[in-house]
Amino acid sequence: MRILIAASLLVATPAWAATSGSWTALDKAARSACERDVTRLASKAKVNAIGGRVSGIGDVKDSDRYYGLILTGTTAGFSSQWLCLYDKRAKSAVVREIEKR
């Protein structure tokens, strides 16, 4: 009986999955904030594309606070890559250039 009640509660609970529209909005907001921070670091930088995404970044209490992007582009004509952490609460970004060795 308990199993049946538990199963019915699981079925009746709405899904909290993100929609494709919410992912698109997050990508747009994160890229915009990240591009602003890239140009703050290097005024001649130009972001061309998003090379990768990482979701679910945070500590134990808040495991989904940050959204990570790897951006590719150029700085003064040279190929560049940046790692950007977008804070979903503060709606701000922190960018660091990825060094190629």
Neighbours of 80 (CB within 10 A): 22
Provide the 3-class DSSP secondary structure of residue 14.
coil
pLDDT in tens, 5-51: 444 434 444 445 678 898 899 999 999 999 999 999 999 999 999 99
H/E stretch holding 50 reads strand 45-57
The reply to whether 51 falls in a domain is yes
- Residue 81 domain boundaries: 43-101
The reply to whether 36 falls in a domain is no
Count of domains in the chain?
1
The reply to whether 91 falls in a domain is yes
Question: What's the pTM value of the predicted model, to 2 decimals?
Answer: 0.75
Q: How far lies 53's CA from each of 13, 22, 42, 69, 83, in Å?
A: 29, 15, 22, 5, 10
The reply to whether 60 falls in a domain is yes
The reply to whether 26 falls in a domain is no
pLDDT in tens, 67-99: 999 999 999 989 999 999 999 999 999 999 998
The reply to whether 21 falls in a domain is no
